[in-house]
Amino acid sequence: MDFSLTDEQNMFRDLFRDFAEKEVAKLAEHIDRSEEPPLDLFRKAAAQGFFGAPIPEAYGGVGIDWQSYCMLAEELSKHCLSTAITIGLHTSLAALSILDAGSEEQKQNYLPSMAAAEMIGAFALTEPDAGSDPGSMSTLAEKIGDGYRLNGTKSWVSNGGIAGVFVVFAATDPKARHKGLTAFIVEKDTPGLTLGYREPTMGLRGLDIRTMYFEDCIVPEANRLGAENGGWPIILRAFDRVRLTLAAVSLGAAEASLALGVTFAAERKQFGTQIAHKQAIQNYVADAAVDIEALRGLVRHAAWLADTGQDFGRAASMAKYFGARAAQNIANKMLQTHGGYGFSDEYAISRYYRDVRALRVLGGTDEIQRYVVARAAFEEKGIRIQP
Amino acid sequence: MNILVPLKPILDPAGMIVNRKAGRVFVNRENYMTNPADKRALEAALRIKDEAGAGVIVAAFGPDRSADSLLEARAMGADRAILIDIPSPDETVSVHALAALCHHLGQVDLVIVGDSALDTGASIGPRLAEALDFAFLGGAVQCSVEGNAARIIRRGDSRGRPDRASARPAPAATAHEADLPAVVAVTREGAQPRYPHGGNIITAYRDANAIESLSPADLGLSDSDLQPVAIERGQSFPPEREFGKQASLDDIASVIGHR
Amino acid sequence: MNYDLPPEYTALRRMMREFCEEEIKPAAKRIDHSGQVPREMLQRLGELGFLGVPFPRQYGGMGAGEIGYCILMEELNRASPSVATIVGAHIGIGVMSLYLDGSKTLQDKYMPDLCSGKKICAFALTEPNAGSDAAAIQMRATLEGDSYFLDGQKMWITNGPIADVINVLALTDPALGARGGATVFAVEREWEGYSTGKPERKMGLHGSPTSLLNFDNVRVPKENIVGQLGLGFVTFMKTLDIGRVSLGAATLGGAQAALEACVRWARTRSQFGRQIAHMQSVQFIVADMAAEIEALRALVYRTAWLVDTGRPFIKEAGMCKLLGSETASRCIDRAVQIHGALGLSRDFPLERAFRDARISEIFEGTNEIQRIVIASELMQEVGVRLRP
């Protein structure tokens, strides 16, 4: 048993932290106000290898392990959740799905430019009527000659407006529900693909979330990802990865919120002393610190499972669920610590408060995570529960 | 005096669910434990060691899953633990290897085995006795060594099936003796195995030499000795038994009337 | 990084669980009703090394470190919180203070008997007017010749009525106060002037006896000073820090037992024509419990690892105690809810678990104190020293 980080992991963390403090911190407020994805920042991050962090070196990436990758998400989200999530979804959902299921040719074609952020990736799964239940999706892919014709609508596609490449799921056998889904790699300029409305959101305002329309969009067979009707396992594995990523994002957000609260409490004076001396404030701070420590344990454990090739789905769900709730709770308490200032946009805590709320929905709602965890608990006793 | 106790690690049945409809046994938790009867055999050997003094040697087949059984036995008080490097042998190969082990060790006066394994087989005891030309005592719930003889207590049929000839209930227990060397098979009704001292567990696991390893070559086993006789062709459930019929009062009356 | 428990600890846990399932769990109800843990059971724990898990073999311990001790507390508390509390007070704070700071002579004199269960140990800090504010103790120890004379009262002492050796904190220099003027003494129960009060009547933990201790000019030879003269407060605080890790482990066992009960029950119980396991409300309760328990487990064993590898652990230890006690109370409360009326039945173990769990939020430093400890560690990082 050994809980210490390796020298390499420590080095990566320092690198991530350094970049986040120098480059991301100063832009965070601007990103939130302008609601623009910071493309320049992405180019700098890509130059450091962040966009290809978990992609193997053979495909132009850095090939870091999950433990370090989680620290990347954590360090970025300490300053800007939009940026952390843009990079997190690009890598964990889009790029790693291609690495996971793609042919050698597809990997050669897409991964190097994704690692360089020349092509940002997006993952188009959710539909207006298919959220937590992807099996009920209505986007169709009909086989025609040596390609497929896609028709339908995808909503809530994160990175939609800035993406160069989409991993799209469509039904090739709609009657088979989730067993009839197929994954495709679709490039931005493919005829028949139209980007729609950008969702105006409460938080994560730097994240470009779009609706997408497919009208007789022809995708060549060479761009099918994995086997026909083989989309479901790709989705499940992508879920495991994105949940772990978002758990690490929650950890960073929670730590940042706590740090803001502690700094404020050390400066703010009421009744003649710093409010740090008030036990009410100390209680908020202590509870937050405990949750963060517990969350760190969950994230590291899940990442270790992933690194050692074990099944990490249940652990990632737990970490994501626990993390999202903890992050929201902590942001709320730290906003409270700020008093009226917390409500002001002049203080960063209000941005965190708005941003972290998304974590309880994004990448599988709290309710779905709880189902996954409960399913594992009951399976041990030999009973299969349905969602 | 040396006592050999073979141990078999088996899949813990508590982690399994039998699903007749699917025609499968699902393993929810893959946990291995020492076969319960073998553990009681070990306890019997350790009691002889405590009372009369003896060297207790445990042996198991490996390399997988057996380490826990062997180390636990060391923690309970076994003096030596031997891992025979033959992965999952059937009973025939086991008997060849254990007989060879007895010869390899030299002076083995008593072999105590569990009378049956929860997963497969109950014939190791008699077959090993035959192979070694030892006496065999089966169905023991207690075992002791007196002078040059092994003495066991065998429990009678406790359901008290009447002895038709004498119309008396069967005796509760009988004692049997055989001259050493002997093979004794202990049942699952044998004495409750002891708990090891926690410190002994730590010591046994941290001792790199706690387990000695022997290869088939060390035991002088030839390839033909390692050939299993039985071949597994697959698994299936026994046919489902039909429910009995609920008898009506009339049915019962007619049967009684007929008598 | 490696989360795998070394195999000896897995084997130790297997043995401990088997023992607890077979020997302690069946007796848990009787222990609660009769209000006592049979001395033979403690003796039996001692024979197997359970009463000296973290201490070296030479004293009859297991040499299994803090990790081994946490495993023990988790398993014991899963079976019977009363037994776990006796063992926790005995090892975790009682013998631990002797082991941390006691002289070689004192350790040789007492530890073998304490580790084997021949003697039971207690740790006496709390007084009628010194609870969370431990530095407010008033008990006096006056030097006369070669001996100190102890005079005063200790309160709420776990193991009080059954302890044979009591480590007690008293003021040797009242002018300096507790910080600098207090000393720990090892007192034996037969010594003249020492007496215990009636066992307290409590809501839970009926099997773990708690009482008042009276010291009426008890003569204690100088050799029985534990640690250094005047530095007793430090010894005691150090002991409590370690104790919090294993208390966190104990609460983990209680929460785990509640989760297991829920999963079993949800599988057995049917309503509206199907097992309640299929109801999302039940699934979500189970999932919440599982996630919180997993987080607690990660925290507790990581902290135990910090202790065993000699790294700083004080903040984390407070977190173990705080998160553990609240997680356990919450999980058991939810388990009662899932069991419906049966959860309140005295024929069912959950009712007892519910009463037993509450004290964890109070003893070994209330949760409010833990929060202050944690907050002050954090505030120190931004340069503010908190006043208690």
- How many domains does chain B fold into? 1
**C280 assigned to some structural domain:** yes
* CB pair distance less than 8 Å for A382 and B17: yes
pLDDT for B157: 57
Which range of A46-60, B24-38, C341-355 scores highest in mean pLDDT? It is A46-60
Closest CA to A187 of A68, A297, A94, A300: A94
Number of domains observed in the structure of chain C: 3
Task: Give the pLDDT band of residue B158 (cuts 50, 70, 90).
Answer: very low
CA C84, C88, C89, C91 dihedral sign is positive
Confidence at residue A142, expressed as pLDDT on a 0 to 100 scale: 95
Q: pLDDT: is B14 or C222 the higher one?
A: C222
Q: What is the pLDDT of residue B104?
A: 92
Q: Which of C101, C120, C139 is the last residue of a domain?
A: C120
- Phi, psi (degrees; rounded to nearest 5) at A233: -60, -30
C318 in any annotated domain: yes
Superfamily for the A7-119 domain: Acyl-CoA dehydrogenase/oxidase, N-terminal domain (1.10.540.10)
Catalytic residues of C: 364
Q: Name the minimum distance, in Å, from the CA of B31 to any CA of chain A.
A: 13
Using an 8 Å CB-CB cutoff, list chain C residues near B205: 6-8, 11
Cα(A266)–Cα(A261) distance, rounded to whole angstroms? 9
From CA A296, how far away is CA A323, in angstroms rounded? 9
Same domain membership, residue C279 and residue C179: no
pLDDT score recorded for residue C319: 95
pLDDT of C122 > 50? The answer is: yes
Count of residues making up chain B: 259
Q: Would you call C7 and B196 a contact, using CB atoms and an 8 Å cutoff?
A: no
Strand residue runs (E) in C159-287: 165-171, 182-188, 194-196, 210-221, 225-226, 270-271, 274-275
Is residue B45 helix, strand or coil? helix
For residue B26, the model assigns a pLDDT of 80
> Is the model's pLDDT at A4 over the cut of 50?
yes
Residue C307 belongs to domain with CATH number:
1.20.140.10
Query: Where in the sequence is the domain holding B150, given as residue range(s)?
Result: 2-258
Tokens of C120: 């039971």
Which domain CATH number covers C32? 1.10.540.10
Query: Which CATH class, in words, describes the domain spanning A233-379?
Result: mainly alpha
| Residue B159 confidence (pLDDT) | 47
What pLDDT score does B170 carry? 56
| Closest CA of chain C from B181, distance in Å | 33
Query: Looking at C198, C213, C230, which one is the last position of a domain?
Result: C230
Rounded distance between C-alpha atoms, residue C92 and residue C86, angstroms: 10
Nearest CA-CA distance, residue A64 and chain C, Å: 14
**What pLDDT, on the 0 to 100 scale, is given for residue B164?**
53
Parallel, antiparallel, or unpaired: how do β-strands B9-11 and B32-34 relate?
Answer: antiparallel
C210-221 and C274-275 strand pairing: unpaired
> With bands split at pLDDT 50, 70 and 90, how would you rate the model's confidence at B160?
very low
CATH of the domain at B159: 3.40.50.620
Contacts of B29 in chain A (CB under 8 A): 380
C73, C344 contact by CB (below 8 A): no
CA nearest to A381 within chain B: B28
Q: Please give the helix or strand (H or E) that residue C179 lies within, else none.
A: helix C178-181
Asked whether residue C372 is domain-assigned, the answer is yes
- 3-state secondary structure (DSSP) of residue C314: helix
Q: Are residues C375 and C268 in the same domain?
A: yes
**What is the model's pLDDT at position A283?**
93
C111 and C160 both lie in a single domain: no
List C-alpha distances in Å: C173 to B235, C60, C167, C193.
Answer: 79, 36, 18, 22
Rounded Cα distance, A117 and A100, in Å: 19
Same fold, A122-229 and A233-379: no
Q: Which residues on chain B are in Cβ contact (under 8 Å) with A376?
A: none
pLDDT in tens, A71-93: 999 999 999 999 999 999 999 99
Averaged pLDDT of chain B: 86
**Mean pLDDT score, B247-254:** 84
Contacts of B71 in chain C (CB under 8 A): 11
Q: What is the pLDDT of residue B258?
A: 67
Q: Touching check for C8 and chain B: CB below 8 Å?
A: yes
What mean pLDDT do residues C117-131 have? 92
* Contact between residue A311 and residue A237 where contact means Cβ atoms under 8 Å apart: no
Residue C271 has pLDDT above 90, yes or no: no
pLDDT (tens digit, 9 = 90+) per residue, A136-187? 899 999 999 999 999 999 999 999 999 999 999 999 999 998 999 999 999 9
Of C78, C94, C120, which marks where a domain is finished? C120
Element housing A371 (H / E):
helix A366-379
At residue C346, the pLDDT reads: 84
Averaged pLDDT score across all residues of chain C = 93
Instruction: Give the neighbours of chain B: at least 3 Cβ pairs within 8 Å.
Output: A, C
Establish if C265 belongs to a structural domain.
yes
- The CATH code of the domain that includes C193 is 2.40.110.10
Calculate helix-pair angle for C104-116, C39-47, nearest 10 degrees: 110
> Are C196 and C259 found together in one domain?
no
Distance from CA of C379 to the nearest CA of A (A): 7
User: Average of pLDDT values for C322-333?
Assistant: 95
**Residue B42 structure tokens:** 């070990």
Does B27 contact A at CB distance below 8 Å?
A: no
Return the axis-axis angle of helices B36-52 and B66-76, rounded to nearest 10°: 30
Token output for B202: 């730590």
Please work out, in degrees rounded to the nearest 5, the angle formed at the alpha carbon of residue A196 by the alpha carbons of A190 and A199: 135
Q: Which residues of A touch B (CB under 8 A)?
A: 379-382
- Which residues of B lie closer than 8 Å to C, measured between beta carbons? 67-68, 71-72, 75, 195-199, 201-206
Task: Identify the pLDDT of residue B248.
Answer: 86
pLDDT for the residue numbered C331: 96
Contact A379 B29 (CB under 8 A): no
Rounded to whole angstroms, how far apart are CA atoms C356 and C331?
A: 13
Largest CA distance in chain B: 75
Averaged over C126-155, what is the pLDDT? 92
What number is the average pLDDT over the span C290-318? 95
- Residue whose C-alpha is closest to residue C194's, from C222, C145, C152, C131: C152
For residue C387, being part of any structural domain is answered with no
The nearest alpha carbon in chain C to B196 belongs to C48
Residues 6+ apart with CB under 8 A from C324: C247, C248, C249, C250, C251, C252, C255, C296, C300, C360
Task: Give the integer Cα–Cα distance in Å for C172 and C176.
Answer: 9
Distance CA C307, CA C66 (A): 7
Nearest CA in chain A to B14: A381
Q: Is A47 exposed, middle or buried (0-12, 13-18, 19+ CB in 10 A)?
A: exposed
**Minimal-distance CA residue of chain A relative to C274:** A385
CA distance C272 to chain B (A): 24
Tens of pLDDT, residues C366-383: 899 899 989 998 998 888
Query: B186 and B56 in contact (C-beta within 8 Å)?
Result: no
DSSP string, A162-226: GEEEEEEEEESSGGGGGGGEEEEEEETT-TTEEEEEEPP-SS-TTS-EEEEEEEEEEEEGGGEES
Residue of chain A with shortest Cα separation from B19? A382
Indicate whether C240 and C370 sit together in one domain: yes
Question: What residues in C contact A304, CB-CB < 8 Å?
Answer: 1-3
The pLDDT tens digits of the residues spanning A246-283 come to 999 999 999 999 999 999 999 999 888 899 999 999 99
Q: How far apart are CA B198 and CA C377, in angstroms?
A: 37
**Which range marks the domain in which residue C38 is found?**
7-120
B-to-C residue pairs, Cβ atoms closer than 8 angstroms: 52
CB contact under 8 A, A5 and C1: yes
Parse chain A into domains and list their residue ranges: 7-119, 122-229, 233-379
Other CB atoms within a 10 A radius of the CB of residue C261 amount to 21
Q: What would the pLDDT profile of C178-204 be if each residue is shown by its tens digit?
A: 889 999 999 999 999 999 999 988 888
Nearest CB to C323 within list A5, A294, A321: A294
Based on the fold, state whether residues C108 and C17 are members of the same structural domain.
yes
Sorted by sequence, the CB contacts under 8 Å of residue A234 that are 6+ apart come out as: A97, A100, A101, A183, A225, A226
When mean pLDDT is compared across A74-83, A284-293, B126-135, B237-246, the lowest value belongs to B237-246
Same domain, yes or no, for C221 and C157? yes
Name the pLDDT band for B259 (thresholds 50, 70, 90). low
The predicted pLDDT at position B168 comes to 56
Whether this model's ipTM surpasses 0.90 comes out as no
**What does the pLDDT look like over B192-233, one tens digit per residue?**
999 999 999 999 999 988 999 999 999 888 888 888 887 878
| The two structure tokens encoding residue A87 | 């990079």
For the segment B144-155, the average pLDDT, to the nearest whole number, is 89
Put simply, the answer to whether C53 touches B198 (Cβ < 8 Å) is yes
Position A8 pLDDT exceeds 80: yes
Which residues from A are below 8 Å from C2, CB to CB?
1-3, 304
Q: Which residue of B has its CA nearest to C17?
A: B195
Higher pLDDT, A109 or A129: A109
Residues C105 and C172 occupy one common structural domain: no
Flag whether pLDDT at C69 surpasses 70.
Answer: yes
The interface residues of chain A toward chain C in range 55-84, judged by CB-CB distance below 8 A, are 67
CATH number of A122-229: 2.40.110.10
Secondary element (H or E) of residue C302: helix C280-308
Any B CB within 8 A of C267 CB: no
> Do residues C93 and C369 touch, judged by C-beta distance below 8 A?
no
Contact A69, A77 (CB under 8 A): no
